[in-house]
Chain A
Amino acid sequence: MNLAMKDLRRQKVSFSATALGLGLLFAIVLAMGGIYRGLVEDATLLVDHLGADIWVVQRDTRGPFAERSTVPPALEDRLRAQAGVASARSFSTATIQRIVGARSLRMTVVGLSWPEDKGQALPLVSGRHLRDPHREVIADRSLGLALGEILPLGDETFRVVGLTQGMLSSGGDGLVFSTELDARAILNWQAPEAKRVEREGRLARLAGTELDSISNQDRLRDERFSPPTLAPFPANAILVNLRPGASIEEVQRGLEAWPDVTAYTAQEQRDLLLKGVVEKSRKQIGLFRALLAIVSGIVVTLILYNMTVAKTHDIALLKLLGARSSVVVKLVLNQGLLLGALGYGFAILIAKFLFPLFPRRVLLGPGEYLGVGMLVLILVTLASAAGIVRALRIPPTLILAG
């Protein structure tokens, strides 16, 4: 006869409510782990997706994600000439926040190197990859953009041709993929007035130099003219892929001799992201999680202890009737295990149905579920132990005291 189960029949509602409360606590413990894993996943998602062997960035920076890095796109050509290098493509990314319609959209623009990368490898949930080198983007669904929607950025408009799911930046912002050239144009766009002012500035700087001549002044005033002496829009990094058989370390060492750049392997780039972006969150989340586990432990202990105290009379009666200690232990322990199991069940339901609505990714694998399950098991067992100690001390003669 399972006394714990029999007891619960009479208090289904209060027991379920208690279990739901615990379930919420356990769900948060679960969420903490999932959020951390989500952070790691998000942080490294793009690096993994772009699949470069070596990231070449501005000298001594930890760019382009952890900090700003600018490199001239022409660096591509120098890199292509390196032994072992199969391809080099410039890469630009930045997070922008724009008003589109009535919404404030925070998005991370990522340049794909047209024509090799049209976004074929992106996990599209609808639409298609890029077909035109200009004015098309693939956006993440988290941004709430619809397929076919027109996105005005700078003085261009971009059509959303494809939607991805779960493609987020390390900051948790939805990614928008365009061609690399478009990305650079979007990120470096200036208002016509700003361009006019810049032209005035150039004229002013021209004055007094030996290049100052009527014809040069005319050229600078012409809106279509961009002086060849000005650098084109910079990129943030150059992505290098190696020929089969080439040694990453060797090429990296070769590039380290270049005075203007720093080269990271994909793994180093990943570590930079994890250290910079995730490390602090990890500590914070870990601390929070430990605190929550302690709070859950205290709550579970109090609940189970009080449930035992509430049964003092029944336990005394059981002992008077000659019940073995094991009967009393089972009663208390089973109650704890049932409470833990039901609470954990609620936690799983919450995780399944509520976590996907969270603004940031909550990534839960079997490991998380197992880990928190074990934690719950340990907590209720320890908490039950407190109840058991109390229960075993109840004298059977208590029943006679009235």
Chain B
Amino acid sequence: MEAVRAENLFKTYGHGATEVKALLGVSMVAHAGEVVALLGPSGSGKSTLLTGLGLLNPPEKGTIDLMGERVLEDGKAFGDLAALRRSRIGFVFQKSNLIPFLSAHENVRLILALNDQMGPETYTRSQELLEYLGVGNRSRHFPEELSGGEQQRVAIARALAPAPPLILADEPTAALDSQRGRAVMELFRKVAREQGTAVVVVTHDHRTLDVFDTIYEMEDGVLSRAEKTA
């Protein structure tokens, strides 16, 4: 099952002298249960692709299908992109992922509330997710009271809460030491395997590439599949 399919994406920032062609005909697929790495030098367009797939920053050309459903075609949206984001896509970023005035538990429950799930079962669900990610004992803590690794685990728990088919992570381990970084990457694989979620991770850390099923490399707006050399 294809969780996400992108075909021939083009994205240009600015115009005239400041014009930057960030995506030049990018195509990619991520399947349910697959962990995908996105490598590439700085400024190559990785984040642009990720936010494109995340329906935050729609490419002006090309198509994106979520779960086999067309959601974007040549910059034109099919349906409410915000609604798709909150129900179909989980986001994890490098840092400041969490709402600072909500506890870990509430940060997870927030995404359920955004999806109009308010009942008592949301308490159980968010607690279960936090425990699943190894931060069950931190559920009442506020983000500033959590370590970077714990924050990322809470962010992953939140991304998982609405059971989305796709999780997008942009350098989620950049602010962590290598040991904790690796632990987070392994969590992504666990999530993909056990929840059947497709996970696309932008990373610079070549030491964790063994965790991934598929590796893409971006270079000046052009994406290519790299051989796994593990």
Residues of A within 8 A of B114 (CB): 318, 321-324, 327
CB of A329, distance to nearest CB on chain B (Å) = 14
A316-338 contacts to B, CB under 8 A, are 317-324, 327
- Residues of chain B at the chain A interface (Cβ within 8 Å): 47, 51, 56-57, 82-87, 89, 91, 93-94, 96-97, 99-102, 106, 109-111, 113-114, 118, 142, 170
Per-residue interface assignment for chain A, residues 153 to 173, with 1 indicating a CB less than 8 Å from any chain B CB and 0 otherwise: 000000000000000000000
A10 at the binding interface (Cβ < 8 Å): yes
Q: Are B85 and A1 in contact (CB under 8 A)?
A: no
Residues of B within 8 A of A397 (CB): 51, 56-57
Q: Are B99 and A314 in contact (CB under 8 A)?
A: yes
What interface size band does chain A fall in?
Answer: 20 to 34
List 10 other contacts, CB 8 Å, given A1-B109, A1-B118, A323-B86: A3-B101, A6-B106, A10-B101, A10-B142, A317-B99, A321-B111, A322-B85, A399-B93, A400-B47, A400-B93
A322-B86 contact given A1-B109, A6-B106, A400-B47, CB 8 Å threshold: yes
Q: Tell me which of A321, A399, A402 contacts B86 (CB under 8 A).
A: A321
Q: Output the residue of B51, B82, B84, B96 with the most chain A CB within 10 A.
A: B82
CB of B72, distance to nearest CB on chain A (Å) = 15
Residues of B within 8 A of A320 (CB): 56, 85, 91
A41-77 contacts to B, CB under 8 A, are none
The docked-state distance in angstroms from the alpha carbon of A399 to that of B93 is: 9
A234 at the binding interface (Cβ < 8 Å): no
Per-residue interface assignment for chain A, residues 1 to 14, with 1 indicating a CB less than 8 Å from any chain B CB and 0 otherwise: 10100110110000
Q: Are B85 and A321 in contact (CB under 8 A)?
A: yes
A396 at the binding interface (Cβ < 8 Å): yes
CB of B66, distance to nearest CB on chain A (Å) = 13
CB of B35, distance to nearest CB on chain A (Å) = 22
In the complex, which residue of chain A has the Cβ closest to the Cβ of B86? A322
Residues of A within 8 A of B91 (CB): 320-321
Q: Tell me which of B83, B110, B170 contacts A400 (CB under 8 A).
A: B170
Residues of B within 8 A of A321 (CB): 85-86, 91, 110-111, 114
The docked-state distance in angstroms from the alpha carbon of A327 to that of B114 is: 8
Q: Are B56 and A9 in contact (CB under 8 A)?
A: no
Q: Are A319 and B93 in contact (CB under 8 A)?
A: no
Q: Are A319 and B82 in contact (CB under 8 A)?
A: yes
Residues of A within 8 A of B102 (CB): 3, 6
Q: Are A313 and B47 in contact (CB under 8 A)?
A: no
Residues of B within 8 A of A317 (CB): 96-97, 99
In the complex, which residue of chain A has the Cβ closest to the Cβ of B95? A402
Residues of A within 8 A of B110 (CB): 1, 3, 321
